[in-house]
Structure 1
Amino acid sequence: MNMRTVAIVLFIIFVISTAGCATHKDPDPVAPALLRDDIFPSYTLFPVETNREIFALGEDAIKFVNQTQAINHTPKQNISQLARQIFDHAELGLLYRSNANSVAAETFANRAANCLSLSILTYSMARAAGFTPQFYQVDIPEYWTRREGYNLLNGHINLRIAPTQNSQQITLRDVFVDVDFDPQAIRSHFKRVAIDKERVVAMFYNNKGADALLADRYTRAYAYFRAAAKTDPTLGQAWVNLGVLYRKQGEYAAAQQSYQKAIAMDEENLTAWENLAVLYRLSDRQNRADDIQARLRAKRQANPFYHFILGEEALDNGRTKQALSHYRQALKLDRRHHEVLFGLGKAYYALGDISRAEAYLTRAAAMADSAQDKHRYNSKLSALQTAN
């Protein structure tokens, strides 16, 4: 069974701890031919947030930061206290929402954000407290989620907070705190690479562009994807998403160039290859599409989330037995993911097997790391039990 087009690469961001080296920028300017302003001539009507606007904090947020710091504490104690209170629901009341892409000030005010926005807020608060934060991008296996009929590829970043050094101080190397929103990432110890603010800003634009594309606001989406590509031309996901946008406008040549730009930067960008295969099918190049799909299937067979997203897609399209088969394969490959157990619960419910649906929802709730996921699964379970 072929995977339907992975149309958007959406960075949903987390944070973890291992060493890495800084990424290097491509010295070549963005090729003007790849940015097709002529297709979206009114993109300037949608100004994007500036770097300063993305990271700026309001007075309430700065006051919050100051309240976490104590003169009689060590730097590490103060860093730990800051991180703990940022993510303590009792203190800040933050609600995780995957589509809540907001600047730091809005994240603090709205109490709802996705992981990238939380990382930006944390970075800004660490700077306000006088510390030195560092973003990291984590090399995780492909992991998708479903949203509004699209398969979204999720990225992953880290944040390390350390004391700021000066010439009069000697700071121990282990005086730092790594903040992570994903306990699974901590256990897996994935390789990571230090990234600069420019890349994070480009990721933010990429997310905002994905939101606009999902809402069929194509000119706004172009404004953001264009900004992402201009801010960091090495962010392959921005080129893939530009390709998706061009394809949806019937501009197949431009789409192909964008996908090939992403592939030229990273031969293992499977999402770019996936979308290139989709383009080949649409333009009657079936043999080339089949070759790509065969290679992708071979590379992805051992990834449980490949089978999981196929299950999600099948369930969305009413192919419940097929979905069940994909979820079972995902569980066979890795039994640690509560999302897969939830998928099995949904599939069995759709098949009318309430007993098994309840069993898998119970297991999903027990295995979930976050209180929010536990509450979501338990709410589904309660509704199921009440209805029966």
Structure 2
Amino acid sequence: MPRYRLLAAVLLILAGCTSQPPAQFAPEAQLAPNALLDGRLFGVGPADAPEDPGLLEVNDDMRAFLAERVPERASDSRKVDLILEGILAGGLELEYDNLLTLPASEAFYRRAGNCMSFTNLFLALAREAGVRASYQEVMVPPTWTEGDNAWFYNLHVNVLVDLPGAEQVVDFNIGEYLRAYPRRLISDEAGESRYHNNLGVHYMTHDDPARAFLHFRQALVLQPGAGHVWTNLGTLYRRQGALAEAETAFRHAIELDREPVAMSNLARLYREQGMPSLAADYARQVERLRSKNPYYQYYRAKQSYDAGAYAAAQRHLERALRKQAKDHRFHHLMAMILTRRHQPELARKFLRQAEALAGDGDKQRYGDKLDLLAGS
């Protein structure tokens, strides 16, 4: 899995719906969403909370680090370069560790962390140096698994730097970042909510439900409308066998923002509880939404291409390109398909488009393929 995905919420949940089912399980299924936040099931009180992480706090050691490496009169662009050099090269030499979700100061001292840790550290140092920078959420496309009607959905966060007359994206794994991905600026509170959500997922997958709950609840204190957090909270309740609470959380996630991952969890819950009609209804809605997703069509196109079904691959990819025409990989795969279908002129057209949209490394690769096609 690419590094940049590990900053995401690590959601194991699926697509949205347009309607809500009637009451399920028992009368207690009619819970108010806020009733899920009292913590009694996990043995914690309403006032219990994780320690304040001081997510973007800068201390004297960090200021000394900046003073040694970043001149005050340097341009903002130069400051960004020097901070990155200090973090990744001759200064801290920060090492990637996907298990470490850390505030800025802890990442500074431990010289390690995952994408969230790197983002917090860079953002804190950049602002201390006078550079305008913000959290940026990137909607990384989901990835699919065969046989279980499920996809893995990722909410990636990096940094957007506001430079005079320009913008610069700073990402721990910039080679995997694509400009085609939808993105938006988010507040510091939303960034901290994602930090707590990540920790909640970590503790949930390490069998510490009480700590997981505290972090999910804190994430919702910071961002009550975060549907993906409600979905993860539903997963936590489901793991505890609290099915009515899980159902309420999943339904609330869908109600808030048609959360694109809660649906399959709800369909699975109904299927396992012997409610096949409800499960099938939600599964159909999942399939309809999935079929409209250009990255799912791209995934299907790759499957068909690998199987030698080039006409089917082309049909899937044409659907994908109608929805998303700025991803260089779509154009590259179309060029490959058209080459297999003995249409070299059209293949060259798509490969030139792939080259125009790609980053430096892929540009060279596509240019080499164009040379090969030109000689064919």
Question: What's the TM-score, normalizing by structure 1?
Answer: 0.63
Deviating more after overlay: 240-249 vs 56-65: 56-65
Among 38, 41, 48, the alignment partner of 1:39 is: 41
Q: How far 1:217 moved relative to its partner?
A: 0.6
What one-letter code is carried by the residue in structure 1 that aligns with 2:187?
Answer: D
Q: Which residue of 2 aligns with 1:273?
A: 263
Give me the whole-angstrom Cα distance separating, in 1, the residues matched to 2:96 and 2:45.
30
Q: Describe the SS at the equivalent of 1:134.
A: strand
Q: Describe the SS at the equivalent of 1:55.
A: coil
Give me the whole-angstrom Cα distance separating, in 2, the residues matched to 1:151 and 1:224.
24
Give me the whole-angstrom Cα distance separating, in 2, the residues matched to 1:57 and 1:82.
14
Q: Which residue of 2 aligns with 1:103?
A: 103
Deviating more after overlay: 258-267 vs 133-142: 133-142
Q: Which residue of 1 aligns with 2:244?
A: 253
Q: How far 1:11 moved relative to its partner?
A: 4.5
Q: Describe the SS at the equivalent of 1:209.
A: helix
- The alpha-carbon distance between structure 1 residues 37 and 307, as it changes in their structure 2 partners (threshold 3 A), is farther
Aligned positions of 1:8-157 closer than 5 A: 11-12=7-8, 32-42=34-44, 47-50=49-52, 53-86=54-87, 88-143=88-143, 153-157=153-157
Give me the whole-angstrom Cα distance separating, in 2, the residues matched to 1:109 and 1:152.
32
Q: Which residue of 2 aligns with 1:237?
A: 228
Q: How far 1:251 moved relative to its partner?
A: 1.4
Per-residue displacement from partner, 1:323-376 (whole Å, max 9, x unpaired)?
xx79958xx779969xxxxxxxxxxxxxxxxxxxxxxxxxxxxxxx8xxxxxxx
Indicate conservation of the 8 Å contact 1:11/1:153, yes or no: no
Q: How far 1:143 moved relative to its partner?
A: 4.0
Q: Describe the SS at the equivalent of 1:216.
A: coil
Which one has a bigger Cα radius of gyration?
2
Q: Describe the SS at the equivalent of 2:185.
A: strand
Indicate conservation of the 8 Å contact 2:140/2:154, yes or no: no
Q: How far 1:37 moved relative to its partner?
A: 1.8
Q: Describe the SS at the equivalent of 2:119.
A: helix
- The alpha-carbon distance between structure 1 residues 116 and 82, as it changes in their structure 2 partners (threshold 3 A), is same
- The alpha-carbon distance between structure 1 residues 49 and 143, as it changes in their structure 2 partners (threshold 3 A), is farther
- The alpha-carbon distance between structure 1 residues 72 and 224, as it changes in their structure 2 partners (threshold 3 A), is closer
Give me the whole-angstrom Cα distance separating, in 2, the residues matched to 1:144 and 1:119.
27
Indicate conservation of the 8 Å contact 2:139/2:154, yes or no: no
Give me the whole-angstrom Cα distance separating, in 2, the residues matched to 1:43 and 1:59.
36
Q: Describe the SS at the equivalent of 1:39.
A: helix
Indicate conservation of the 8 Å contact 2:38/2:45, yes or no: no
Output the aligned Cα RMSD.
3.7
Q: Which residue of 2 aligns with 1:284?
A: 274
Q: How far 1:203 moved relative to its partner?
A: 0.5
Q: Which residue of 2 aligns with 1:173?
A: 165
Q: Describe the SS at the equivalent of 2:221.
A: helix
Question: What's the TM-score, normalizing by structure 2?
Answer: 0.65
Deviating more after overlay: 108-117 vs 210-219: 108-117
Q: How far 1:31 moved relative to its partner?
A: 5.0
Q: How far 1:284 moved relative to its partner?
A: 1.5
Q: How far 1:72 moved relative to its partner?
A: 4.8
What one-letter code is carried by the residue in structure 1 that aligns with 2:249?
Answer: S
Give me the whole-angstrom Cα distance separating, in 1, the residues matched to 2:169 and 2:282.
39
Give me the whole-angstrom Cα distance separating, in 2, the residues matched to 1:241 and 1:273.
12
Indicate conservation of the 8 Å contact 2:137/2:158, yes or no: yes
Q: Which residue of 2 aligns with 1:207?
A: 198
What one-letter code is carried by the residue in structure 2 that aligns with 1:193?
Answer: R
Per-residue displacement from partner, 1:89-122 (whole Å, max 9, x unpaired)?
4432222222211111111222221111211111
Give me the whole-angstrom Cα distance separating, in 2, the residues matched to 1:177 and 1:262.
33
2:214 maps to 1:223: yes
Indicate conservation of the 8 Å contact 1:48/1:223, yes or no: yes
Give me the whole-angstrom Cα distance separating, in 2, the residues matched to 1:139 and 1:181.
16
Q: How far 1:132 moved relative to its partner?
A: 2.3
Name the count of aligned residue pairs: 285
Per-residue displacement from partner, 1:126-173 (whole Å, max 9, x unpaired)?
12212222112123322479xxxx98632112312347xxxxxxxx43
Among 270, 287, 296, the alignment partner of 2:286 is: 296
Q: Describe the SS at the equivalent of 2:181.
A: coil
